Amino acid sequence: MKYDSDSRFMRIALDYAWNFQTLTLPNPCVGALILCNNTIIALQAHEKAGTSHAEVLACKEAFLYKITHDEIAKSAILETCKKQGLNKDNPLLYLTETLQNIQDSKHIHDFITMYHSGIFHECEFFVTLEPCNHYGKTPPCAELLKTIQPKRIVIAHEDNTPNASGGSNTLSHIPMTHGILRDEAHILLFPFLQWQKKQSFTLFKIAHKLHGEYKNGVISNEDSRIFTHNMRCIADYIIVSGATLRDDNPLLDTRFSLPFYKQGTPIPKILILSKTMQDKDLKNYNIAHRNVSIIRSIAEIPRDGFKVIEGGFTLLNSLLQDMEGTNTTQIDCIMGYIAPIFHLDKNVLHKAMIKSHTNTKQNQYTLAHTLTLTDFWLKKANVTTKNNTAMTNIMYYLFINGIKTNLST
C-alpha cells in the first residue's frame, strides 16, 4: 500500500514537471512535491536553468503554507524569531512578505536555513531526480534538505552526472525510498540525457487538427503560443523552410513569452532551409532585421545547441528522409499541438500522416507524454480567461528510438 501511495504522489510531481519540458535545458526537468499529514502542501518544478531548483521552490511554498495554516509551526517560527533577535510588530507577516518577494535561489536557501524552525520534520519529500550535491549557479539542494531534516525523502531517479551526484550520500541520515516510477522519470529526463551525450537537442514543433490538417485556420491556443515563445527564448536556433517563410512571413520572435524566460536570453538565430532563396530576398520579410542565415541542406544545421524546427508534415517527412542513414543532425523529439477540431477529409488525412517506415534502419519515434494546455501559462502570466474547453490544445512529445528505460545516465 505504501508503494502505491508513493507512486501516486510521485506521478503528480512527474506530471507537473512535464509542463516545463525543454524549458530547463541544459538542466534536467525536475518536479518536487511535499506531503504533510497526507496533505500536499507544495508542488513545484525547476523552470529555467540558473534559477531555483524544484526542491528549493517546494520548500518556499511549504514554508508559506505552514506559516499561514499550521499553529504549531507558527509557534516554532515565532520562537526562532526571538532567538534571531527579529524585532518586528508582526514577525510572521514580515517573514511571509519577505519570502514571497525572494526569487534568488541562494536567498531562498538562506532564508529557509535560518527560519525553518523544525517545521519540516513531519514532511515527506517526493523528488523526480536525486537532489543535487554541488555548488553551481545555485546552492546544493541536498544541503538544504539535510538542514531541514524532513521525515522521509522519496526519489524516482538517481543522478549520475559527475558534478551533481552524491545527494543520497549527503542525506543518508534521513529515511529514503529510491526508484519510485524510475522508468517514467527516465523518460522525463530524455532531453537532458541527450544533451549530456552530445551537447545538443533538436526538436521539431508542429500544430495540427485532429484529422491531421495544419494549413488552414487557427490551431494553437494562447497557452500553446506562450509555451512556444518561452521555448524560443531558450533555443539557440529557430529553423523554418523557405516555403514557410514565403507563405506565412512569420515574425519568429518571443513577444508572447513570460518575462521570466525572456530575461537574460538573446533572441535565437534564425536558419532558413531553402535551395533557392537568396540573401537579398530576406529584405522582403518580417525577419529581415534579425540574425538570419540561409542553409541549403540538413548538413548545414549546427551540431550543437538547442534547435527548434517549426513546420508541417511535409517538411517533417522531408527531413526524416534526408536524415536517414546520415551522420547529420537527427530530430530528437517531435512536439505537437493538436486542436480539438475534426473535418473528415481522406486526402488531407493521408497527406498529413507520416508514412509507414519500410526501412528498419529509419528512425522510429515513441510517444513519451501527453498533456493538455488550457490556461496553465495564462495563469502564470496573470491573465484571466474563461475556461473554454474548445480552446484546449492537446500537447504530445515523441522521442527518437523509443524509450530505453534501462539506460544508465
| C-alpha to C-alpha distance for 133 and 161, rounded to whole angstroms | 10
Helix or strand holding residue 40 (H, E): strand 39-45
Percentage with pLDDT > 70 across the chain: 90
Domains and CATH numbers, the chain: 1-194 (3.40.140.10), 199-342+369-381+392-397 (3.40.430.10)
pLDDT at 79: 97
CB of 32 closer than 8 Å to CB of 128: yes
**From 234-243, 291-300, 377-386, the region with the lowest mean pLDDT:** 377-386
Does position 354 have pLDDT exceeding 50, yes or no? no
Specify the pairing of strand 200-209 against strand 333-339. parallel
- pLDDT mean across residues, the chain: 90
The per-residue DSSP string of 325-359 comes to TSSS----EEEEEEES-----HHHHHHHSPPPP-S
The per-residue DSSP string of 106-166 comes to HHHHHHHHHH-TTTTTTEEEEEEEPPP-S-SSS--HHHHHHHH--SEEEEEE----TTT--
pLDDT per residue as tens digits for the range 142-176? 999 999 999 999 999 999 887 778 899 999 999 99
CB of 148 closer than 8 Å to CB of 141: no
Mapped onto helix, strand or coil, the DSSP state of residue 263 is coil
The CA distances from residue 141 to 104, 170, 237, in Å, are: 14, 10, 31
Q: Give the position of cell 473528415.
A: 344
Helix or strand holding residue 169 (H, E): helix 167-170
Percentage with pLDDT > 90 across the chain: 77
Mapped onto helix, strand or coil, the DSSP state of residue 188 is helix
| No. of helices (H) and no. of strands (E), the chain | 15, 13
Give the pLDDT band (50/70/90) at residue 357. Answer: very low
Does position 193 have pLDDT exceeding 70, yes or no? yes
Give the pLDDT band (50/70/90) at residue 242. Answer: very high
pLDDT at 36: 97
pLDDT at 385: 67
Q: What is the pTM of this model?
A: 0.92
pLDDT at 240: 98
CB of 55 closer than 8 Å to CB of 47: no
**From 177-186, 210-219, 230-239, the region with the lowest mean pLDDT:** 210-219
pLDDT per residue as tens digits for the range 271-297? 999 999 999 999 999 999 999 999 999
| C-alpha to C-alpha distance for 220 and 375, rounded to whole angstroms | 13
Q: Report the length, in residues, of the chain.
A: 409
Specify the pairing of strand 237-241 against strand 269-273. parallel
Grid cell for residue 222: 494562447
Give the pLDDT band (50/70/90) at residue 401. Answer: confident
Does position 76 have pLDDT exceeding 90, yes or no? yes
The per-residue DSSP string of 44-113 comes to EE--STTS--HHHHHHHHHHHHHHHH-HHHHHHHHHHHHHHT---SSHHHHHHHHHHH---HHHHHHHHH
Rg (CA), the chain: 23
Q: Residue 351, exposed/middle/buried by CB under 10 A (0-12, 13-18, 19+)?
A: middle
Give the pLDDT band (50/70/90) at residue 386. Answer: low
Does position 106 have pLDDT exceeding 70, yes or no? yes
Q: What is the DSSP secondary structure assignment for residue 181, as one 8-state letter?
A: T
